[in-house]
């Protein structure tokens, strides 16, 4: 008879009221000591564990908690400290945060990029010039803490060695196996110590198994887990995958581990099990509750899926769980008092997902009748949303007007004649620092403590101040600052029909930075101008061009919680058509440069490369729907984050934007190298300094970044800008950094003008 258990793969770190964020930032600002930080975060961590215990979850994850990022945690515990920080004490918390945020002088922060195809950012380990050793068995510490403090026999969570090394940098491709071999003894020590401490289960996360591994890499995976089987005893290893269908399923399920966790939401694993079977002596972790989305599960459908899985696999134990860690969703919907009840009833955040897991576990053990009320409630909530005004008639995108009428070479001449920009024009990406005063004023307005007129006057005063600052800095293309906006996607979610927004639906993006993705509940339509008033006002204050700032359709889709019943590419086209109306409204208001940001373009890529062409086609189509009907003189910009340019070159070129800016400061050299094999013709700005770090770069550092780019990119193509928006930075450091950036641009410009005059 099959044993039925419930499990969770990971829980949000941030706390219901973002207590985690506030504690960490208070420590950075010197308002609390390290001791207080550790006390406050331990309290939150134990509350999270207790909540899962009270929900009746059988296998509760421990070690999923972090003070910044779990990949960074793993790297530091292995003594993988970047060379520029090796004079620091690796055991000190200041070293940990310096790697993530940057240190003094030339100690720039480590590169940060997206965790597979999510909006969570991890710190990229740098393996070169390091000597791995186990400084701390974090998994053991958290296991013992849960056991001693709460009586929980937790399930330690660790990143698998192949995934960890594949996500790292600082080694040649031929050195992959050698680096995994160096780390294996450390993993063996971690697992042996956990077994000795009495841990029953360990979750080893290997999401890299959902990517297209080579034969050599597959053999390395087999070697690693055979090694664990030979050397580790007394503990059950669950090889956990998520985000995609496991590639090479038949080989993976032969690995000598005790169980496999499979994603049945984003992966077609049921078909694979039905076709190839499942080992009868193994545990099957059935990830059937969506760990990456917030919409309520249809429990009847999920129960039928579980029944089909159990029948096809017939495992000795089946574990009901989420498809991935719940770190990608907010904590609870109980605090949402202003949401439309139809939408709220249709939601399931982390706490509600734990309930869904427990209900389905009970149904599988005791029969559906034992939890029939919960099943009925889920079906009714989904039906009410489906019949609501959010699901009006679909807005179809036409095939017309998805190509600029004039080719880029001709557009560039007309735009230059219109804009009269200098060589190496300087600009920023869009947002400017949102001070505590800005945030408090917005909160007062939302609470009704300020009138609309009072709030608008405040936003205009901030805009005036920063237009003057930008003019004083002698930037060439200005921005209005986005002081009226909370978040680049949430803001548009508030204005476009088809969306709803939460008050407290925060999720971690990077470090202490949290975002509130809007809820895309139905079909999308533009109803009225969204950004025109603020940008037109800013333009009225200066003779220099002010960029119109919009978030693109691909990013709005990827950074929203899209209802699973909505066809994603159709909705993406709807967003593109809605943004086209906004683009044309800006153009009619006299705005000559319009930036349609797509920082999430690469992030949304399926892990399986065979699915890339369809994704790229849809992304290019939606962007062109938004931008292709402007005049040739109107300059279209876009911005992207952490894009491995070589892999997405054709798609970026296909967008046909006049200027792209790419966030590259933490990997500037690697990005520039891609242009040595790609002959990109349009204008481009590679971020010349890192805005995610509070450090102010030197002029020499900025010049070096500019000159490195100009070795490959023509000086007539290159723009100079920070690598991302400046919203999270403080005013003094922002002004100081931009001042140096403009000075570096002037020095470089003078050099090239001088060369041309000779």
Give a yes or no: residue 748 inside a domain. yes
CA-based nearest residue to 730, from 425, 393, 437: 437
- Strand-pairing partners, residue 684, are 660, 718
CA-based nearest residue to 522, from 579, 576, 573, 567: 567
Q: Has 268 been labeled as part of a binding site?
A: no
The total number of structural domains in the chain stands at 1
Give a yes or no: residue 153 inside a domain. no
Mark out the alpha helices in 476-515 (DSSP H runs).
490-495
Q: What percent of the chain has pLDDT over 90?
A: 83
pLDDT at 258: 97
Please name the residues in contact with 443: beta carbons below 8 A apart, sequence gap of 6 or more.
Answer: none
pTM: 0.91
pLDDT at 695: 83
Q: Has 639 been labeled as part of a binding site?
A: yes
Q: Has 431 been labeled as part of a binding site?
A: yes
Q: Has 429 been labeled as part of a binding site?
A: yes
Residue stretches of the chain with pLDDT short of 70: 105, 393-401, 642-646, 665-678, 756-758
CA-based nearest residue to 680, from 723, 641, 651, 642: 651
Q: Which of 121, 266, 480, 692 is catalytic?
A: 692
pLDDT at 645: 66
DSSP label at residue 132 = -
E runs forming strands in 185-326: 201-205, 236-240, 259-263, 283-289, 317-322
Q: Has 119 been labeled as part of a binding site?
A: yes
In angstroms, rounded to a whole number, what is the distance separating the alpha carbons of residues 224 and 314? Answer: 27
pLDDT at 527: 94
pLDDT tens digit sequence for 413-457: 999 999 999 999 999 999 999 999 999 999 999 889 999 999 999
Q: Has 383 been labeled as part of a binding site?
A: no
Q: Which helix (H) or strand (E) holds 561?
A: strand 561-562
| Distance, CA of 718 to chain centre | 27
- Are the C-beta atoms of 286 and 318 separated by less than 8 Å? yes
Q: Has 18 been labeled as part of a binding site?
A: yes
Give a yes or no: residue 539 inside a domain. yes
Q: Has 603 been labeled as part of a binding site?
A: yes
pLDDT tens digit sequence for 669-714: 555 666 666 678 899 998 888 887 788 999 999 998 899 888 888 9
Q: Has 597 been labeled as part of a binding site?
A: yes
Give a yes or no: residue 196 inside a domain. no
Q: Is 369 helix (H, G, I), strand (E, B) or coil?
A: helix
Give a yes or no: residue 556 inside a domain. yes
Give a yes or no: residue 462 inside a domain. yes
Could you write out the DSSP letters of every residue in 327-362?
GGS-S-STT--SS-HHHHHTB--HHHHHHHHHHHHH
Give a yes or no: residue 601 inside a domain. yes
Please state whether beta strands 513-515 and 507-510 pair in parallel, antiparallel, or not at all (unpaired). Answer: antiparallel
Question: Is 692 marked active-site?
Answer: yes
pLDDT at 675: 63
Give a yes or no: residue 298 inside a domain. no
Note down the domain range covering 538: 408-757
- Are the C-beta atoms of 570 and 394 separated by less than 8 Å? yes
CA-based nearest residue to 594, from 531, 636, 649, 545: 636
CATH number of residue 553's parent domain: 3.20.20.210
């Amino acid at each position: 008879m099959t044993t039925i258990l419930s499990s969770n793969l990971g829980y949000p770190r941030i706390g219901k009221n973002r207590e985690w964020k506030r504690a960490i930032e208070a420590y950075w600002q010197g308002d609390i000591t390290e001791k207080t930080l550790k006390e406050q975060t331990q309290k939150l961590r134990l509350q999270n564990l207790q909540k899962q215990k009270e929900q009746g979850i059988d296998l509760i994850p421990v070690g999923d908690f972090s003070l910044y990022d779990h990949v960074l945690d793993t790297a530091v515990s292995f003594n993988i400290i970047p060379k520029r920080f090796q004079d620091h004490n690796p055991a000190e918390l200041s070293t940990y945060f310096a790697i993530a945020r940057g240190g003094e002088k030339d100690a720039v922060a480590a590169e940060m990029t997206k965790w597979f195809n999510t909006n969570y950012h991890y710190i990229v380990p740098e393996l070169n010039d390091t000597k791995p050793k186990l400084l701390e068995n974090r998994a053991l510490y958290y296991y013992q803490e849960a056991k001693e403090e709460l009586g929980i026999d937790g399930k330690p969570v660790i990143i698998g060695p192949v995934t960890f090394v594949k996500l790292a940098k600082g080694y040649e491709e031929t050195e992959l196996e050698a680096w995994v071999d160096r780390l294996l003894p450390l993993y063996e020590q971690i697992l042996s110590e956990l077994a000795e401490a009495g841990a029953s289960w360990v979750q080893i996360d290997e999401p890299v198994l959902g990517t297209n591994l080579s034969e050599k890499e597959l053999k390395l995976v087999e070697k690693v887990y055979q090694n664990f089987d030979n050397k580790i005893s007394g503990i059950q290893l669950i090889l956990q995958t998520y985000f995609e269908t496991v590639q090479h399923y038949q080989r993976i399920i032969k690995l000598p581990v005790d169980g496999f966790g499979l994603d049945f939401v984003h992966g077609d694993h049921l078909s694979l099990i039905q076709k190839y079977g499942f080992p009868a002596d193994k545990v099957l972790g059935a990830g059937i509750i969506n760990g990456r989305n917030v919409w309520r599960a249809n429990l009847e459908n999920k129960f039928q899926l579980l029944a089909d899985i159990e029948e096809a696999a017939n495992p000795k134990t089946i574990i009901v769980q989420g498809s991935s860690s719940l770190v990608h969703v907010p904590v609870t919907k109980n605090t949402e008092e202003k949401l439309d009840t139809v939408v709220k009833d249709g939601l399931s955040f982390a706490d509600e997902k734990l309930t869904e897991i427990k209900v389905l576990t009970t149904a599988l053990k005791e029969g559906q009748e034992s939890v029939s009320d919960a099943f009925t409630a889920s079906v009714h909530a989904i039906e009410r949303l489906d019949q609501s005004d959010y699901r009006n008639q679909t807005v179809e995108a036409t095939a017309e007007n998805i190509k600029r009428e004039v080719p880029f070479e001709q557009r560039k001449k007309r735009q230059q004649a219109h804009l009269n920009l200098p060589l190496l024009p300087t600009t920023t990406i869009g947002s400017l620092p949102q001070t505590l005063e800005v945030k408090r004023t917005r909160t007062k307005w939302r609470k009704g403590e300020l009138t609309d007129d009072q709030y608008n006057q405040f936003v205009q005063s901030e805009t005036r101040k920063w237009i003057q600052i930008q003019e004083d800095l002698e930037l060439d293309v200005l921005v209005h600052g986005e002081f009226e906006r909370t978040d680049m996607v949430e803001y548009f979610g508030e204005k476009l029909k088809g969306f709803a927004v939460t008050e407290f639906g925060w999720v971690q993006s990077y470090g202490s930075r949290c975002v509130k993705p809007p809820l895309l509940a139905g079909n999308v339509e533009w109803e009225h101008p969204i950004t025109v008033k603020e940008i037109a006002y800013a333009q009225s204050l200066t003779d220099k061009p002010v960029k119109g700032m919009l978030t693109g359709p691909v990013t709005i889709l990827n950074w929203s919680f899209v209802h699973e019943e909505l066809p994603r590419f159709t909705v993406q086209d709807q967003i593109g058509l809605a943004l086209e109306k906004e683009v044309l409204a800006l153009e009619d208001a006299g705005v000559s440069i319009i930036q349609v940001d797509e920082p999430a373009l690469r992030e949304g890529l399926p892990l399986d490369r065979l699915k890339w062409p369809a994704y790229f086609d849809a992304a290019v189509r939606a962007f062109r729907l938004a931008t292709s009907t402007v005049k040739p003189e109107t300059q279209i910009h876009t911005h992207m984050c952490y894009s491995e340019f070589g892999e997405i070159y054709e798609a970026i070129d296909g967008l046909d934007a006049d200027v792209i800016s790419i966030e590259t400061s933490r990997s500037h050299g690697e990005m520039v190298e891609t242009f040595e094999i790609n002959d990109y013709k349009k204008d481009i700005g590679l971020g010349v300094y890192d805005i995610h770090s509070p450090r102010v770069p030197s002029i020499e550092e900025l010049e070096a970044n500019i000159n490195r780019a100009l070795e490959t990119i023509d000086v007539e193509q290159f723009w100079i800008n920070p690598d991302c928006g400046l919203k999270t930075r403080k005013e003094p450091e922002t002004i100081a950094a931009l001042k140096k950036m403009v000075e570096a641009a002037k020095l470089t410009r003078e050099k090239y003008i001088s060369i041309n005059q000779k």
